[in-house]
Amino acid sequence: MAKERKIGAYICRGCGIGQALDADRLEEVAAREGRANLVRQHDFLCAPEGVETIRADLASGEVSDVVVCACSGRAMTSTFRFDGVAVARANLREGVVWSRARKGESSALADAGSSDSSERGEIPAKTGETTGEAEVSSSERETMQEMADDHIRMACTEIRFMTPPSPSLEQTLNRTILVVGGGISGMTAALESARAGYSVTIVEKSATLGGFAARLWKRIPDRSPCEAPVDPGIATLVSEVSVHERITVETSSKISRTSGSPGKFKVTIERCDPASGDDGSTGSRTETFGAIIQATGFTPFDPSHIPELGYAASGDVVTSSELEALALAAKGEALVRPSDAKPIKSVLFVQCAGQRSSKPGHLSYCSGYCCAASIKQAMYFQDADPSIETVVLYSDMRTPGSGGEDFYRSGQSRGIVFTKGETSAISAAGEGGGARVRYRDLILDEEVERDFDLVVLATGMVANAGVDSEANDTKTDEPDTNASAPAAIEIPVESILNLTYRQGPDLPHLAHGFADSHFICFPYETRRTGIYAAGPVRRPMDIAQAREDATGSAMKAIQAIENAGRGRAAHPRSGDLSFPKVRYDGCTQCKRCTVECPFGAIDEDEKRYPLFNESRCRRCGTCMGACPVRVISFENYSIDTVGQQIKSVEIPDETENKPRILVLACENDAWPALDMAARLRRSWSVFARVIPIRCLGSVNTIWVTDALNAGYDGVMLMGCKSGENYQCHFVKGSEMAQYRMTKIDDTLEQLGLEKERVITHEVAITDIERAPRLINEMERTIARIGPSPLKF
């Protein structure tokens, strides 16, 4: 027998709410229309006494579910969290009172509520005597009260369709981390994880640890005084890893198969014989890991296919990585010319060699570390013989990081010459050896041609990110009309993780072949939950940045393990216990949920029904928005929790001249932007009803259709930015919502409604001024086109 539900509605009068609104009327709405079993008012509900009131009612059995009618659901989240209890929030403070603040009101109207003491749950100073509240007309007060009434109705309705989420039976706690790649990023991630108490296995394809950094003579300094190159520290790092009791190292090995999910990744590790030269397997075993860190580094860019760089024309034109190998072999002795071993008297470093260019075959991006690396290598020559002419030819000199400017100044003081120019051709110098360089001096604005004993090309990074799991198939049968153009960059295509996901065998690439990452919102996250990219495989970076990056990825891997062990979601809904449930008797096997899930969390069973993987799921609700028959839901977020809120709003008669605008606001960007706007007392239309949603991707078109049929005059969707520089926390939610909304036009036409009545906006969390303005523009649009003809 189902447990009887008893709803308790608790109305806060603090933070200016009690002064601006009729709390008794709100109580009546909650009891009569919201059908709350118990309604209480409190001066400061977030204070210990207020919270204890709720806890006492829960303990006595008077209530089983709680509606908090106070501040935004983004505030006091821990204060109003009660284990095993469904909680709905009516946003009276930011959503009603603060968003209607008038010019002339003192900020003291609600400042006590937004003070540090209030956020800690302490009783703020009384505000009633200091508000200086400006006069508000009776009509304005009435519309604001109606706004608050609707928020009460929505919250009381939402709670009836919610159940407190509980963990499923899928939880697996496995405190073992797999690190793929034994370079400086991988070893750092392994050490940080092991120091935190987690067991780690490093799988490295080569026979030794160290990666690219092991081939360096010196590295760029990252600590004061940043005046000279320093030891790479790889030997020390390798030693620490090798002797650590929680770290297992598998060299000459690779991953041949990865299946499962956070807490239970099943990984097959193959032992390879590097001496055979064919990567032949000499045995394999399968282990289970809780999380995976991919730290597979980069490959230096190959400039051989760019004729103007002269790499193939002269033996005295080398890349920066080749010069590093020469320096390592020389071990501090004077470097000699590669072609004939003669002393080097002049050396030119060509910056951005094959980089920061839109030409075919070039890298379009900056690799970040090359400028400082050239300064470091120029110092090799100066340290050996100060009389050696060292010239750095650059278009833009960039030395980011701690001490970067100091390092540049140190190079100047040593006599390194920095010349702003652009190289046009490099060729062999003739019988005397060396290389001839033609470039344009951008300071003197003249063409220069001269010989150097050695030319060093500062080439960039090409990520070892594996196969792009979500790349579009661009193959065509059309003949190549540009056969003479330089070949495109070849990014390694051998799979690294060999995932069994339907979306592909590796992490998808974000841009330029680098592994998936979200630079703006959460850099270490990828679209494969529990798998994190670290180091140059994620973006170009130097050693100091790579170590910091590896530490961050280790922290995310640990978080994923602990969340998976408790059945909780990963960022950005970290801690959420809900997960998708399907009513299979209504499923049409259309595959929209499996295809549109951005995180590979849905497979198909033998009958082709969706098979949800809880620990991969981010709880964004994209599957719910995609489902045409609405059979996917979460315990605390469903078609009904939002749909019934929409229907609960009181729709005035068209003669009252009180339009209703539904705003579905993404909880990650749009909703916070509106909350912050309210804190700054930025007003938006009193006729708008804002409902926070997990992601725009979770919006099912039935919500829009129901709103229009109910008599709403307009519907606005506010989501994150999409496209190349997307800010959507769930990657593609905003993009998919916009695509779905293009199909609403037919519905509008059938209903005889104007297209302007449904609009989608991309809103950043920083759009504090813009977000309210968009809502106000919608109100003006409704005033122009008139009320909905579907009002009844």
Minimum mean pLDDT among 120-124, 490-494, 704-708: which range? Answer: 120-124
pLDDT at 475: 34
Whether pLDDT at 285 is above 50: yes
Same domain, 521 and 614: no
Backbone angles phi, psi at 491, to 5 degrees: -95, 135
Task: Please write the tens of the pLDDT for every residue from 16-44.
Answer: 999 999 999 999 999 999 999 999 999 99
Confidence class for position 118, pLDDT limits 50, 70, 90: very low
Confidence class for position 482, pLDDT limits 50, 70, 90: very low
Burial class (CB in 10 A: 0-12, 13-18, 19+), 286: exposed
Which of 176, 355, 145 has its CA nearest to residue 262?
Answer: 176
pLDDT at 571: 83
Q: pTM value?
A: 0.87
β-bridge mates for residue 461, sequence order: 300
Same domain, 455 and 440: yes
Same domain, 625 and 639: no
Same domain, 247 and 337: no
Mean pLDDT value of segment 146-155: 98
Percent of the chain whose predicted confidence (pLDDT) is above 70: 91
547 or 472: whose pLDDT is higher?
547
**Cβ atoms of residues 127 and 18 within 8 Å:** no
Task: Please write the tens of the pLDDT for every residue from 54-86.
Answer: 999 999 999 999 999 999 999 999 999 999 999
Tokens of 519: 């630079």
Give the residue from 442, 459, 476 where a domain finishes.
459
Confidence class for position 121, pLDDT limits 50, 70, 90: very low
Asked whether residue 573 is domain-assigned, the answer is: no
pLDDT at 760: 94
Same domain, 680 and 711: yes
Percent of the chain whose predicted confidence (pLDDT) is above 90: 74
Which of 439, 416, 298 has its CA nearest to residue 367?
Answer: 298
Mean pLDDT value of segment 267-294: 84
Same domain, 527 and 399: no
Asked whether residue 2 is domain-assigned, the answer is: no
Q: How many CB atoms lie within 10 A of CB 785?
A: 15
Q: How far apart are CA 499 and CA 613, in angstroms?
A: 15
Tokens of 716: 């606005």
Q: How many CB atoms lie within 10 A of CB 60?
A: 8
Same domain, 612 and 532: no
Asked whether residue 57 is domain-assigned, the answer is: yes
β-bridge mates for residue 538, sequence order: none
Whether pLDDT at 315 is above 70: yes
pLDDT at 626: 94
Number of domains in the chain: 4
pLDDT at 489: 52
* Amino acid occupying residue 492: P
Same domain, 653 and 754: yes
Q: How far apart are CA 681 and CA 99, in angstroms?
A: 6
240 or 494: whose pLDDT is higher?
240
Same domain, 132 and 21: yes
Asked whether residue 576 is domain-assigned, the answer is: no
Task: Please write the tens of the pLDDT for every residue from 661-706.
Answer: 999 999 999 999 999 999 999 999 999 999 999 999 999 999 999 9
DSSP labels for 13-42? -TTTHHHHS-HHHHHHHHHHTS--SEEEEE
Whether pLDDT at 791 is above 70: yes
Token pair 């009513």: residue: 583
Same domain, 585 and 615: yes
Asked whether residue 170 is domain-assigned, the answer is: no
How does DSSP classify residue 603? Answer: E
Token pair 């100047």: residue: 412
Domain span holding position 402: 302-459
Task: Please write the tens of the pLDDT for every residue from 446-468.
Answer: 999 999 999 999 999 999 999 98
Asked whether residue 272 is domain-assigned, the answer is: yes
Task: Please write the tens of the pLDDT for every residue from 349-380.
Answer: 999 999 999 999 999 999 999 999 999 999 99
Element (H, E) at 52: helix 48-60
Same domain, 353 and 264: no
Confidence class for position 125, pLDDT limits 50, 70, 90: very low
Give the residue from 421, 441, 459 where a domain finishes.
459
Asked whether residue 39 is domain-assigned, the answer is: yes
pLDDT at 172: 83
Backbone angles phi, psi at 579, to 5 degrees: -155, 160
pLDDT at 492: 52
Asked whether residue 188 is domain-assigned, the answer is: yes
DSSP labels for 60-73? HTS-SEEEEEES-T
Task: Please write the tens of the pLDDT for every residue from 179-221.
Answer: 999 999 999 999 999 999 999 999 999 999 999 999 999 999 9
Confidence class for position 431, pLDDT limits 50, 70, 90: confident
- Residue 762 in 3-state DSSP? strand
Query: At a CB cut-off of 8 Å and minimum separation 6, what does 664 contact?
Result: 642, 691, 693, 696, 699, 703, 715, 716, 717, 718
pLDDT at 123: 32
* Amino acid occupying residue 613: N
pLDDT at 336: 94
Mean pLDDT value of segment 149-173: 90
Same domain, 469 and 418: no
Task: Please write the tens of the pLDDT for every residue from 592-603.
Answer: 999 999 898 998
The length of the chain, given as a count of residues: 792
Largest separation between any pair of C-alpha atoms in the chain: 99
- C-alpha torsion 523→525→527→532, nearest 10: 110
**Cβ atoms of residues 183 and 213 within 8 Å:** yes
pLDDT at 102: 53
The chain-wide mean pLDDT, for the chain, equals: 89
Q: How far apart are CA 411 and CA 414, in angstroms?
A: 5
Task: Please write the tens of the pLDDT for every residue from 591-631.
Answer: 999 999 989 899 888 889 999 988 899 999 999 999 999 99
Q: How would you classify residue 631: left for phi > 0, otherwise alpha for psi between -120 and 50, otherwise beta?
A: alpha
**Cβ atoms of residues 57 and 146 within 8 Å:** no
Instruction: Tell me the CATH number at 473.
Output: 3.50.50.60
Task: Please write the tens of the pLDDT for every residue from 87-116.
Answer: 999 999 999 999 985 544 433 333 434 433
Instruction: Tell me the CATH number at 598.
Output: 3.30.70.20
